Amino acid sequence: MMRRSASKKAGQPNSTNSINFSPSDLFRTASSRASSKEMERIDNLFHSYANRSLGMIDPEGIETLCSDMEVDHTDVRILMLAWKMKAEKQGYFTLEEWRRGMKALRADTVSKLRKALPELEKEVKRPSNFEDFYSYSFCYCLTEEKQKSIDIESICQLLDLVLGSHFRAQVDYFIEYLKIQSDYKVINMDQWMGFFRFCNEISFPDFSSYNPDLAWPLILDNFVEWMQSKLT
């Protein structure tokens, strides 16, 4: 009986040949590997600041992070960082929140994170983002379950931090008013957002475009009356 030849005719495909990858396949593989390595570094950075028993970065960890970045923990950019992460609880970052923020900022080291802050600040200050950040900053300061308002002292600090660089005069006068008035002990979200709209829409300090018959929070009617009496 004749043995079957082990060789194949020239040009005949060999079924044992390895699969050929296209350049795009190779690029995707390399990109996926790099992304995996980046996520590993992001996770390692998280765990270097996280409270192990809590499984998240707590206020102490955030202060250490700020110290390593050489940024004060009261700097508005730390609040911007929380906004980028969509952090839900003040003073705490979960691993999921951390990953979201660091991946978006392309930061897997403290040095890269520090260098990303100026660009983050520009992003937040865009009109399309700033109103969302302003709203977020109020919600972020609601530290108790079912809490819907913030005390006047904290609101004054928050206004100065978040809005002071945009509407200096309005913020300074409103803070002065809040501190001397006795009708309100707390501010709610409607009043908080109302003041933002007020700063954007009302001419200051003549208030010529202010119409008290429109749906402004009562506290702003009172503020305008106080300002007008103060300036006459």
Helix (H) or strand (E) holding 14: none
> How far is CA 213 from each of CA 19, 198, 204, 216, 217, rounded to the nearest angstrom?
75, 14, 18, 8, 11
pLDDT of residue 9: 47
For residues 121 and 75, what is the distance between their CA atoms, to the nearest angstrom?
Answer: 11
pLDDT reported for residue 102: 97
Q: Is 186 helix (H, G, I), strand (E, B) or coil?
A: strand
DSSP string, 61-91: HHHHHHHHHT--TTSHHHHHHHHHHT--STT
Per-residue model confidence as pLDDT tens for the chain (232 residues): 444 444 444 445 554 445 565 666 655 665 566 678 899 999 999 999 999 999 999 999 999 999 999 999 999 999 999 999 999 999 999 999 999 999 999 999 999 999 999 999 999 999 999 999 999 999 999 999 899 999 999 999 999 999 999 999 999 999 999 999 999 999 999 999 999 999 999 999 999 999 988 889 999 999 999 999 988 8
Euclidean distance between CA atoms 70 and 110, whole angstroms: 10
Structure confidence at residue 32 (pLDDT): 63
pLDDT value of residue 212: 87
Helix or strand or coil: residue 56? strand
The tokens of 189 are what?
Answer: 């979200």
Residue whose token pair is 């009617």: 221
What whole-number distance in Å separates Cα of residue 83 and Cα of residue 106? 16
Domains of the chain: 36-125 (1.10.238.10), 144-231 (1.10.238.200)
Please give the pLDDT value at position 2.
43
Nearest to 188 by CA among 162, 165, 154, 163: 154
Q: What is the pLDDT of residue 19?
A: 52
Rg of the chain over all Cα atoms, to the nearest angstrom: 28
The Cβ of residue 137 has, within 10 Å, a number of other Cβ atoms equal to 20
> Half-sphere exposure of 211 toward its Cβ, with a 13 Å CA cutoff?
5
Supply the pLDDT for residue 6: 45
